Structure formats: structure tokens, C-alpha cells
Amino acid sequence: MGPRLRAFAVQVATEEPRGIERPLRGLQRAVGGQTVHLALRTGDHATYISKIDADQPYQMASRVGMAIPLHCTAIGKCVLAHLPPAELEDIVATTGLPARTPATITDQRRLDAELAFIRDRGYAVDDEENEATIRCVAAPVFDPGRRPLGGVSVTTVTFAVSREELETFVPHLLTAADEVSRALSRSR
């Protein structure tokens, strides 16, 4: 089953793929109760299929079933960073690189450099690129052939969590993303 069909099936059934809840809940506990998302690629964007809200007095506007752009979200950049170059070019040609905030990367050369950096370090950061005052870190989720299916993210607000603190979540994030990749592979 491909990522689009999987996301659609999950949306229709309103239940998460088997085996993803434990690593996502474990991640949320490990990062101090911040919001955790899982999104899968659905064509030229990604779609949230799971969200665990922060145990904070504020809530994120995101919701299961919501589509997110690839070029300016941490999960989306994880997907783009691991696509074949021709597929990346097709997506950018179709969607463009529209600014969503003043921090959005809208230049192809800057995006290419960012994607190379993501491939090298294994995770992506969205520092108010998609939404003002929202900061995320994400790790890719892969199928058994190492094609990107989507990503797992930890989402915070800038006034509560610094970028430096956000990046301390990465070891837990990478572990959770690996566990989710394995769970999705088993549910195929």
C-alpha cells in the first residue's frame, strides 16, 4: 500500500496504523509533554494521521487529516530531503515555494542546501517557516526500501521552548521515527 492510500485509509477509518501509538506516546513523555505529530506524504503535501496534544495550557491548530506543505514544515522537508532529485524538482515545479511567513525558504538554492543539511544530520527543523511562533523538529519515516513515507515531529511554541532545547529532543525523535517506520512496514 502506498503512502497516499495509507493516509486515505487512516482518514476514512479514523484509526491509526497498528503499532504507532506506543512510540509516539513514548516520544511525548520523553520531550516533556510537547505536541507530537505523525504525517504521511499524500502527493505534493503531507497529511497528519496522528496528533498527541501537548499537556500545556496552549494547543496547536493542527489536526488529524490536515494537509501541510512540504517545503516549509519539518516533516515536509524530511520527505523532500530523501526524494530522488527528479521527483523533488517535479514537486517544486508544481507547488512552488510560496512564503507562509518571513522565515519561509522561498529560494531553490537555499532549499537545496537545507535538504542536504537534513540528509547529513538526519532530522529537519522548522523555525517559524510555516507558522509564526511555532517551532518543530522532525525525523523521516521510511518504507523498507528507504523511500520517505512522511515524518514524526515534536512541535512547540517559540516563547516556551528555545531552538537549542528543541534540538535536545532529537535522540528521542530519531528513535521514535525508527520505531514508527518499522510499525508501518509491518502493517503494509
Question: Domain segments of the chain: what residues?
Answer: 3-186
146 burial (CB, 10 Å; 0-12 / 13-18 / 19+) is exposed
pLDDT tier for residue 12 given thresholds of 50, 70 and 90 = very low
| pLDDT digit string, tens, across residues 56-97 | 777 888 999 999 999 999 999 999 999 999 999 999 999 999
**What pLDDT shows up at residue 58?**
79
Q: Which uninterrupted H or E stretch holds 42?
A: strand 35-42
**Cell numbers describing residue 7:** 493516509
| pLDDT digit string, tens, across residues 93-144 | 999 999 999 999 999 999 999 999 999 999 999 999 999 999 999 999 999 9
Q: In what order do the strands lie in the sheet with 148-157?
A: 67-69, 45-52, 35-42, 148-157, 134-142, 124-127
Residue range 3-186 forms a domain whose CATH class is alpha beta
Q: What is the pTM (predicted TM-score) of this model?
A: 0.90
